[in-house]
Structure 1
């Protein structure tokens, strides 16, 4: 490779640059379970201490007590609690010879009354976006697994969770921050979780936030980040994992004696697999406090836990491909976002991370470019980046479109197919409208909308035949309603719908009805023909409708995400209808359109 992929857009021909102004409508970077209805009155919370973004346009926690990862078991997720046991006061103080102190004046301390890095000026939501029901919001966060059908839903939820929001009086600010960070971790957003954890002064962290902090710094492969939380972790968390963390932190301060004592005590307890202790010793060796070199052998290790991921990544220990293949979905996001990780591992995880919403189109291309610029890139990667370069910079529009088609047709699974559409978003948006693209260029239109280029997609309306899949994507994704929309046209589309149980047609109806682009009569007629009940009421539908009436966009985004867990094949059409309508009601129509369009691309 003699040129980096980052230069693709600079290499566009003059005709391509003149063809379109490529500007996305919604920037990108980088089921509420049955039982959630009107929340019961929450008990009075512990008093909040006194004063002490999918970022904008450009990306677990137990009900009580901490939920730390036990290194020898599977990753800890919300709903578990490990009580402090075996505590020996005074004895643990020797693990860290000195506790970190704040030298900041009181006026410089961060408040718990508003937590988060993104403001409305930097792409975040308004401070009151989640309303006043703190315990209710936290409960929904804990019940949401982070694996969302919609990439745009993921991007919207990330933005909401990273916003600087006011802490409701019904919950402690540090506890709410812990639930936000934990959900971001389950989404694969390790960097976002760290932003939230670091928005709270460590000496104000609650037990839940201390637990979330440990998981966050494992996700970001930063063992040193756990050090300020070690005293609280030893007092209230899982003794063995925090003793290992304390040993590492002692090594970082050059205190080999306490570090060795802590490692020995954990080993003698027999409560943690020796493999996980060896990983901690490997980190100690990197600090210079280790007494001997440590060899890591993955034999007989059958799963990749958070501890193993964090410690191995921090010390550049290769993780076997078999364990990578079975790692949880959220860990693919962590892998991609860890710059110290093996490039081959990051590239392998990138398609799933991009399809999930962790990587933007720009970030995905940048990662491919970096990998392709290495001395001897894999042949498959070199071929892919060459084709992608042609999609952006070939002299003739027909050649650029042919390169895009080659990429779209080469993907091996659904995540890769959608990831390739994301990678070509800007190239698709720059394609001249008069280019010959066949009878149904749904992938071209879908690719544009993965990047939010809705106005570029709108220009193709005259070139698209009514009733095709491209027309359906434009019908919900364009910034204005298409002319002549009615039940008859939905019926025409349904006649050629090859999706299982005509799900694509049902989602088209749900999207159009939610956007208000069908009148009541046409919506009712089309629903009868397709056998869809968009008016079905459940506790989830009432929850999202009520949040929309209260004008709480953050809560709407959260409840919408809870209603999109899983994949599109299992998405009830009435869920999409209520999600699109609620988002539109709270001023998030662009996001609503992108979610509806995504449904028709991915089903």
Structure 2
């Protein structure tokens, strides 16, 4: 048996009403995608993602703070009073003696309140099992950076638990989805919002994955008794060995390791990693050498144990790791800087890293002794983009960064990195006839007000005009079926997908009349009003005024790459977000679609 999540492909299932309970994801111990539950403003805010110790950046003249949404920075977990105040709680025979004021109720779980950037407690409505089913079936690989930022914020909010589901189970489903999004820090917030003596079997499984994702073996210790009683016995037996070692009990640790080895159910490589952790506690009896030659899969157990003990993971193995694990890597400060930098573009493009956090990470990496030549060159261009003497020189540096990407993810990550620099560029700078990347960079960081300053300089029908038409805080003058037709005439995307996204975004935002939208859609052979279980579900959630459920169903409709997202999905997503008061998020998602296709 191999511990942890295999890096094989997850099944991407589009969620909707009447979801069956069977998993569409691959089996295997500790798969965050399968765990019975098995991550700025809109927030436009460049600081919405958990950040790896960002350094302070100098202020730029003329930069308006990102508008629209509150940030989703870490918040203190709320405390609740236990109805059974003062009673001793047990799990797996272990007593927990928590003071009443430190206990948390299962009726409301999550660290973010509306005052700290979260959604309202009733944001997911009262259909708990339905919400949990959607969370379990959503694979976490979202096309939209802003869709991920919004979903992280929703899943991290202090949410009321519907009567139809156990609070610990719903929290486990939330944390499991966050893990599949690469949001290991936010997943930990949710897991630690549930007292460990109240963890359900589902929460036990997700908690194990969460502490592996955050490379914290010691975090498993409170769950060991219940894990041995209700979880996957062999993996929890290894965890118990680690915890015995941390307590200085070498005897029980060695006994547990021996039991697991003799069972033959765990790959010996995973046992060796556990012994390496024990050696770090001082409880190991011998030095353990880790050789990766015969290992072809990077599982969550291997990731967590190797990262916790500073064991270098081979680059060839890193190259096969699932995308969410790159998010875990970049958020783990004990990881080798080279590995964090390699994972950073994907994390920035996905929304795991904010623009500020991404730049700060690159800046920290440049201070390492003898940084790689490519990284040093990238940092030099970034410095010029932010601080060159003239606007023309700054824009030239930005263009060099935007054109240096080897793939679409790296190219979009470059737009994320330059967001603040783009927002500070004087509008008198010569930027050519179609500065769509400049606007795309601003919208990637949520600087929509700064982008609006360029509106008068754009040519109607250009790509930059289209990005502005859906992303600007105020509707542009002159937007019509005719101007959309001009845009389509310049569209070089496959199947006029960019033009279809423009029509979908404008119609969803209400910036085209119904007659104009019908005319423009007809010219592109686009059925905006297509009805499916998914479309009915997201509009029903909007009618019930459930922004959290809208964000979740929207994410289910944006799985995979933008090229695979049907244009009518974007229409319903934008429309539903507007109806529940998330206008800024709706605009940012629509603008992102035009930038990334």
- Pair 1:538-2:532 in alignment: yes
Q: 1:101 maps to what in 2?
A: 96
Cα drift, residue 503 of structure 1:
0.1
Q: 1:197 to 1:355 in 2, by over 3 A?
A: same
Distance 2:287 2:496 in 1: 61
Q: 1:21 maps to what in 2?
A: 64
What is the correspondence of 1:189-338 to structure 2 with a 5 Å cutoff?
189-338=183-332
- Pair 1:487-2:481 in alignment: yes
- Pair 1:120-2:163 in alignment: no
Cα drift, residue 9 of structure 1:
2.8
What is the correspondence of 1:389-404 to structure 2 with a 5 Å cutoff?
389-404=383-398
What are the Cα deviations for residues 117-148 of structure 1, in whole angstroms up to 9, with x where unaligned? 00000000000000000000000000000000
Cα drift, residue 101 of structure 1:
2.4
Distance 2:226 2:55 in 1: 45
- The structure 1 residue matched to 2:151, chosen from 138, 147, 157, is 157
Task: Check whether the contact 2:64–2:447 (CA below 8 A) recurs between aligned residues.
Answer: no
Cα drift, residue 374 of structure 1:
1.4
Q: 1:408 to 1:208 in 2, by over 3 A?
A: same
Cα drift, residue 379 of structure 1:
1.2
Distance 1:353 1:235 in 2: 36
Distance 2:125 2:236 in 1: 36
Distance 1:113 1:250 in 2: 34
Q: 1:9 maps to what in 2?
A: 58
Aligned residues: 533
What is the correspondence of 1:189-588 to structure 2 with a 5 Å cutoff?
189-588=183-582
Q: 2:42 maps to what in 1?
A: none
Cα drift, residue 7 of structure 1:
6.1
- Pair 1:177-2:171 in alignment: yes
Cα drift, residue 29 of structure 1:
6.2
Distance 1:423 1:414 in 2: 14
Cα drift, residue 236 of structure 1:
1.0
Q: 1:301 to 1:249 in 2, by over 3 A?
A: same
- The structure 1 residue matched to 2:124, chosen from 107, 116, 130, is 130
What are the Cα deviations for residues 425-476 of structure 1, in whole angstroms up to 9, with x where unaligned? 0000000111100010000000000011111101101111001000000000
Q: 1:87 maps to what in 2?
A: none
* Matched residue SS, 2:371: coil
Distance 1:339 1:382 in 2: 21
- The structure 2 residue matched to 1:600, chosen from 581, 594, 597, is 594
Distance 1:51 1:452 in 2: 46
Task: Check whether the contact 2:546–2:580 (CA below 8 A) recurs between aligned residues.
Answer: yes
Q: 1:592 to 1:111 in 2, by over 3 A?
A: same
Q: 1:602 to 1:51 in 2, by over 3 A?
A: farther
Q: Which runs of 5+ in 2 are unaligned?
A: 1-52, 74-81, 86-90
What is the correspondence of 1:139-158 to structure 2 with a 5 Å cutoff?
139-158=133-152
Q: 1:287 to 1:473 in 2, by over 3 A?
A: same
Cα drift, residue 411 of structure 1:
1.0
Distance 1:24 1:386 in 2: 29
Distance 2:201 2:181 in 1: 22
Distance 2:109 2:83 in 1: 14
Task: Check whether the contact 2:72–2:118 (CA below 8 A) recurs between aligned residues.
Answer: no
What are the Cα deviations for residues 8-58 of structure 1, in whole angstroms up to 9, with x where unaligned? 535x5xxxx1x443434345567xxxxxxxxxxxxxxxxxx9456xxxxxx
Task: Check whether the contact 1:8–1:393 (CA below 8 A) recurs between aligned residues.
Answer: no
Distance 1:456 1:413 in 2: 28
What are the Cα deviations for residues 341-366 of structure 1, in whole angstroms up to 9, with x where unaligned? 00000000000000011000011011
- Pair 1:186-2:158 in alignment: no
TM-score (norm. length: structure 2): 0.87
Distance 1:291 1:5 in 2: 40
Could you say what the CA RMSD is over the residues aligned between the two structures, in angstroms? 1.7
Q: 1:562 to 1:579 in 2, by over 3 A?
A: same
* Matched residue SS, 2:550: helix
* Matched residue SS, 1:317: coil
Cα drift, residue 5 of structure 1:
9.8
Distance 2:210 2:95 in 1: 20
TM-score (norm. length: structure 1): 0.86
Query: 368-377 or 355-364, which moves further after superposition?
Result: 368-377
Cα drift, residue 400 of structure 1:
0.5
Distance 2:523 2:173 in 1: 43
Q: 1:59 maps to what in 2?
A: none
Distance 2:508 2:548 in 1: 19
Task: Check whether the contact 1:29–1:360 (CA below 8 A) recurs between aligned residues.
Answer: no
What are the Cα deviations for residues 217-240 of structure 1, in whole angstroms up to 9, with x where unaligned? 000000000001001110111111
Cα drift, residue 377 of structure 1:
1.2
* Matched residue SS, 1:9: coil
Distance 1:494 1:583 in 2: 26
Task: Check whether the contact 1:5–1:368 (CA below 8 A) recurs between aligned residues.
Answer: no
Q: 1:73 maps to what in 2?
A: none
